[in-house]
Amino acid sequence: MNRTKEISLGLIWGAMAALLIMLFIFVEGKSANPGNDGGEIEITISADSVHFELDKDGSIKSVTVGKDRFEKTSSGIRIKDEIIIENGRVFIDGVEITEGELDRLAVDSEYSVPYVGWTEGGRKNRYVRRERLATVYMDTVDDVVKFSDIVIRNDEHVTGDVVSLCGDVDVYGLVDGDVAVLSGDLCVYGEVGGDAVAVFGDVYLEDCYVGGDVAAPFGEVFREEGVTVRGDIATTKFEGIHTAGLGFTVRYNRVEGLAVFSTLDYDDREKKHPSVDLLGGYAFTLKRWEYDFGISHRFFDGWSPYIEVGMFQLAESSDKWILTEPENSIAAALLKEDFYDFYWKRGFSGELGLSYDKDLSFGVGYSAAKIQNLKRTASKALFGGKKEFRENWSTVLYDTSALAGIDGKLKEVEFKASYDTRDYEEDPESGIFAQLLYRQALDSDSADFDYETMDAELKYYCPVSTDQTLFFRLRGGYSDDDLPLFRRYFIGGIGSLRGYEYKEFQGNRYMLFNADYIWRFFDSSFGAGVFFDAGKAAFSGTEFEDEDLYTDIGIALLVGEDFRINLAQRLDDIDKSPVLSLRGKILF
């Protein structure tokens, strides 16, 4: 490594480390809020009861009441003489706490795991659940807490939590934290970054966004069409059982060039009619029409059979697991980097299976398609620059037999089983995803492809606190056959071994392990992380056993909810420069 490169590398690492330290010091200082000691109220919600616990001056009172025991008054709620919340005061089993004395109010649910906490400024500043659905009071100076009605106007931005004990809450603006109502109703017309909870009232969601869970344990959740809720919803009553959407999407890469598509989707929440998804459009430099049409139907709730049927004609890629399609399009258009290799696929597919809610599913599928190799048709990015795109399948251009082996007729059957407890399918924060997939090409005596593959994947999202997440991913694939390029295993570079070159390793078997520990700075949209990758790939069992395990380590800077900068250093050759990569996703 020459002197100039050493200096540049040192400056990059030093700048990122200094920036992380400065951000941590800044937001750590900003988050300090010692406050005064007071009383604490815990409210735990279950399916048919609510448990209240008050801790004040060493006196702990605990009361559990059923749904049929509470009564609303003109100024709050009353549960016989055991619990009274009205006129700016709280009585629990005869112990009083005023609004000024209330140090913390937490709304929890019975499925929570044990609390994790830390001490700051000589007092317990915040308790953190490993699951969502929690609202805290007097956590930061940015909280809005009243015993009466609260209205967040459309021009207001609340960076903390919003809590009303005896009134209604209307959110027209933006709330970064959680919103909780104890005895009133909650109406959301704007945006709530956390959870939205009404314990003894109803929740109304109209033309809004909720980043967490929505719950009304003793009421109902009314949700209009088009409302986005990233978490779970309890006791929901939809204001419409059918949803349909018409839209447009654009993508850009070196094979299709600029491709413009219209989309149509239809969903029936009552499951009386099948769901429909249609994508159709034109790729301008490829000069081909493309479409992807699918119909699916799940028949019941709980354990239920399902069916999926599709027809397609499009440029496909097997690399979508390393980064998303929007990320690849942005990289191609702006950074002149295309991380996908493409092939043409035209045919149909079908799948039958059995699923249990969204957690567990088993399916068997069949597909028949015409497969063709594709070449680069776009040479440069949309926004200029002298750098040209690499050729399609550039990492194997020397292997003419492999390139020629892409073309053919493919009939394939697959069996899969999956288990999914993630809180969100997109950008999950907790849970497990596991999948086993077996594929076999059919009619091997007369067809162009003859192979069997077995693939497995496990993802584990472990929240350490509301601001910290530990993530593990383990992937692997195995075959004893000569695989076509679109089924061959490639690792290396962005989304896999982040400290190595793009698709540096390949074979008919592989393993890959990723571990990320990320954290958000308190009350900030900035964060940081450290990560470790390990993996290898080979074309035979002996070669795989003899192959060294390639590893790398790195640091990351998080900006906002959807932007991440990685700097990864391979460990087998530290003379090589670290690899810088940008992602539009925080975790895989």
CA distances from 483 to 27, 364, 461, 487, 490 (A): 51, 21, 32, 6, 12
Residue 471, token pair as written in the block: 């993530």
Give the Cβ contact number of residue 58 at 10 Å. Answer: 5
What are 324-342's pLDDT values in tens digits? 999 999 999 888 889 999 9
Residue 166: its pLDDT value, please? 77
- Residue of higher predicted confidence among 113 and 103: 103
Measured between alpha carbons, how far is residue 454 from residues 147, 322, 390, 414, 475 in Å?
A: 59, 19, 30, 10, 11
Structure tokens at 76: 């709050």
Residue 571: what residue type? L
Lowest mean pLDDT among 92-96, 119-123, 374-378: 119-123
Average pLDDT over residues 267-274: 75
Query: Three-state SS for 151?
Result: strand
- pLDDT-derived band of residue 147, with 50, 70 and 90 as boundaries? confident
List where CATH 2.40.160.50 sits in the chain.
1-31+450-588
Q: What is the pLDDT of residue 359?
A: 82
Q: What is the chain's length?
A: 588
Looking at residue 285, its amino acid is T
Matching residue, tokens 């979508």: 320
Q: Cβ–Cβ contacts within 10 Å for residue 555, how many?
A: 18
CA atoms of 152 and 150, how far apart (whole Å): 7
Name the most confidently modeled range: 101-115, 170-184, 336-350: 336-350
Pick the CATH number of 1-31+450-588 from 3.30.1330.90, 2.60.120.10, 2.40.160.50, 3.40.50.920: 2.40.160.50
- Residue 107 clears pLDDT 70, i.e. is over it: no
The token pair that represents 469 in the structure block: 């997440």
Q: Are 309 and 352 spatial neighbours (Cβ–Cβ below 8 Å)? A: no
What is the residue whose two structure tokens read 């967040």?
A: 152
Question: Of 124 and 9, which is predicted with more confidence?
Answer: 9
pLDDT in tens, 286-298: 999 999 999 999 8
Per-residue CA distances from 181 to 64, 202, 255 (Å): 19, 9, 53
* 112, pLDDT greater than 50: no
The strands making up 196-198's β-sheet, listed across from edge to edge, are 144-146, 162-164, 179-181, 196-198, 214-215
CA atoms within 13 A on the CB side of 257: 13
The tokens for 428 are 């999950």
Yes or no: say if 519 and 466 are a contact pair by the CB < 8 Å rule.
no
Model confidence at 471, in pLDDT bands (50, 70, 90)?
Answer: very high
What is each CA distance from 549 to 36, 480, 502, 533, in whole angstroms? 54, 20, 17, 10
146-150 long-range contacts, Cβ below 8 Å, gap at least 24?
146/99, 147/76, 147/86, 147/87, 147/88, 147/99, 149/184
For 346-360, the pLDDT digits (tens) are: 999 999 999 987 789
Cα separation, 200 vs 71, whole angstroms:
10
pLDDT value for 384: 57
Q: At 260, give phi and psi (nearest 5°).
A: -115, 130
Question: What Rg value do the Cα atoms of the chain yield, rounded?
Answer: 27
Question: pLDDT tens digits for 227-254?
Answer: 888 877 765 554 455 667 788 899 999 9
**What are the beta bridge partners of residue 49?**
66
Cβ atoms < 10 Å from Cβ of 1? 11
Question: How far apart are the C-alpha atoms of 123 and 131, rounded to whole Å?
Answer: 23
Which residues, 6+ apart, have CB-to-CB distance to 497 below 8 Å?
491, 504, 505, 512, 533, 534, 535, 550, 552, 570
Pairing mode, if any, of strands 157-158 and 174-175? parallel
Ranges 81-95, 188-202, 396-410: which has the least confidence: 81-95
Q: Given a cut of 50, is residue 22 above it in pLDDT? A: yes
The model's pTM? 0.67
**Average pLDDT, rounded, for the chain:** 82
| Placement of tokens 């009939």 in the chain | 411
How do residues 533-570 score in pLDDT, each as one tens digit? 999 999 999 999 999 999 999 999 999 878 999 999 99
Closest residue by Cα to residue 551 from 534, 537, 567: 534
pLDDT at res. 31: 41
Lowest-pLDDT range, 73-77, 333-337, 571-575? 73-77
pLDDT reported for residue 421: 86
* β-strand pairing of 144-146 with 162-164: parallel
Structure tokens belonging to residue 104: 């913390």
pLDDT at 151 > cutoff 70: yes
pLDDT tens for each residue of 481-534: 999 999 999 999 999 999 999 999 999 999 999 999 999 887 677 899 999 999
* pLDDT class of 442 with cuts at 50, 70, 90: very high
How distant is the alpha carbon of residue 472 from its chain centre?
14
Rounded CA-CA distance 33/38 in Å is 14
> Sign (positive/negative) of CA torsion 22, 23, 27, 30?
positive
Backbone CA torsion sign across 488, 510, 558, 214: positive
Q: How many CA atoms lie within 13 A of 96 on its CB side?
A: 6
Name the pLDDT band for 212 (thresholds 50, 70, 90).
Answer: confident
CA distance 401 to 124: 66
Angle at 285 between CA 279 and CA 291, to 5 degrees: 15
